[in-house]
Amino acid sequence: MTVLSSRPRGEDGDPAGVTVLAVCTANVCRSPAAERLLARRLAGSGVTVTSAGTRARPGVPVDPEVAALLEAAGVPAEPSGARELRPADVRQAGLVLAMAREHRSAVVQLVPAALRRTFLLTDAADVAEAVAAAGWPQDVPASAAARLAALPALAARHRVPGATPEDVPDPHRRPREEYLRSFAVIEDAVDRLARALG
């Protein structure tokens, strides 16, 4: 896959690893939740998951409500501060998962070449499920890293015409119900994506 041409490959052509970048606004709610949930689901698969924010204040900790929801889901919310999105982050990522359309636009504005590999989180899950239902191509090694790397090239053939992927709602500084709703959308999308990768 072209997005991973510079990465080392195993003897069977399988990418030795791929980086997924989750992006939201402040990097304290949605993208850290997606990062940690996806990293837990894909642990040991050769996939590295990171996150950043389009308007992050570096060093700000994960929102306490999100940290509590992660802990309740069995995912430690390790102490780490918010990171501001940088062009290098986007260039290193084989796949960028934006939480909302505004974040996808910001990523592509920062690095136009990332257009084909930047998805809404929910869109990536929908596409991966469609590919899995049709059967992953035989030339794509059966690993999460290889399948994530192949997703951008497969997306056009497997999107449902007219379908509108869902933005992950921003819960920051809103009632607890909004945190629960946002977290549920993220958890569902991450679970669907991980299952589709096999």
Q: Where are the domains of the chain?
A: 15-141+165-196
User: Model-level pTM greater than 0.75?
Assistant: yes
pLDDT in tens, 57-74: 999 999 999 999 999 999
pLDDT level of residue 49 (50, 70, 90 thresholds): very high
Tokens of 66: 């999100």
Higher-confidence residue: 15 or 104?
104
The pLDDT value given to residue 13: 43
Decide if pLDDT at 102 tops 50.
Answer: yes
Nearest to 125 by CA among 146, 97, 153, 100: 97
The CATH number assigned to the domain with range 15-141+165-196 reads 3.40.50.2300
CA of 111: how far to CAs of 17, 26, 118, in Å? 22, 19, 10
The pLDDT value given to residue 189: 98
